[in-house]
């Protein structure tokens, strides 16, 4: 066993966990069917054949990516709810909203959910979405102690964000687009507006 950094090669497990974030980025751009495994391999800096060896099939890779996506979302919601623990339900929901909005500023986690929904006719993908949504919904419910209707609304507006981001409705300066984007402060990553409190 060599724990020092002099190794030239990673273990297969290290590779897998290292590949996942890159695969997430690539799949988020073009989705499951339109993304060749070779693109993932290039992004990860390894050969295409080895990516398949690491994950078995492209589908298994994609499912692993979807799981990782929801994992990160759950973590963010969890962290966002931490500093208002025990607050009013709506207060907790708002904190989680802010955390989600902040998290998806780079679009990848959001786009991947859209692509996963589009590929949900594949049973394994549909199951991954179910796992993820179960986790997220339960987390939101448990942390906020909000009524089911409030939780449902929370998720519904999250889905609306998907539409806004995929069609880039925030870049359209028309009444109908403003109707859909109103009150949703999202994207414009890292630009801090004066007077708005920032998570320190």
Partner DNA sequence: CACGTATGTAAGTGAACAGTCACTTCCTTA
Partner DNA sequence: TAAGGAAGTGACTGTTCACTTACATACGTG
- The residues of the shown chain that bind a second copy, judged by CB under 8 A, are 29-31, 33-34, 114-115, 117-121, 126, 129-130, 133-134, 137-138, 141, 148-149, 151-153, 155-157, 159-160, 162-163, 166-169, 172, 174-180, 182-183
Neighbours of 179 (CB within 10 A): 9
Distance of closest approach, residue 1 Cβ to DNA, in angstroms = 4
Helix H or strand E encompassing 10: none
- Quick check: 10 binds DNA (CB under 7 A)? yes
CA dist., res. 198 & res. 62, Å (int): 34
- Quick check: 53 binds DNA (CB under 7 A)? yes
- Quick check: 138 binds DNA (CB under 7 A)? no
Question: Which lies closer to DNA via its Cβ, residue 36 or residue 189?
Answer: 36
Question: Which lies closer to DNA via its Cβ, residue 2 or residue 200?
Answer: 2
Q: What is Dmax (Cα atoms) for the chain?
A: 64
Distance of closest approach, residue 28 Cβ to a second copy, in angstroms = 10
- Quick check: 25 binds DNA (CB under 7 A)? no
- Quick check: 189 binds DNA (CB under 7 A)? no
- Give me the DSSP letters along 68-137: HHHHHHHHHHHHHHHTTTTS-HHHHHHHHHHHHHHHGGGSHHHHHHHHHHHTTTSHHHHHHHHHHHHHHH
């Amino acid at each position: 066993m060599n724990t020092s950094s002099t190794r030239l090669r990673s273990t297969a497990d290290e590779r897998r966990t290292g590949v996942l974030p890159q695969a997430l980025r690539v799949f988020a751009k073009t989705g499951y069917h339109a993304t060749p495994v070779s693109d993932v391999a290039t992004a990860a800096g390894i050969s295409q054949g080895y990516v398949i060896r690491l994950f078995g099939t492209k589908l298994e890779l994609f499912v692993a990516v979807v799981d990782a996506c929801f994992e990160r979302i759950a973590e963010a919601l969890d962290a966002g709810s931490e500093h208002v623990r025990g607050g009013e339900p709506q207060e907790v929901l708002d904190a989680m909203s802010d955390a989600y909005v902040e998290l998806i500023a780079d679009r990848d986690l959001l786009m991947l959910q859209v692509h996963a929904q589009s590929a949900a006719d594949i049973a394994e993908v549909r199951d991954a979405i179910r796992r993820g949504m179960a986790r997220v919904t339960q987390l939101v419910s448990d942390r906020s102690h909000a009524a089911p209707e409030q939780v449902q609304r929370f998720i519904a507006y999250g889905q609306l964000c998907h539409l806004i981001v995929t069609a880039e409705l925030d870049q359209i300066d028309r009444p109908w687009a403003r109707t859909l984007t109103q009150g949703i402060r999202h994207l414009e990553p890292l630009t801090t507006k004066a007077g708005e409190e920032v998570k320190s």
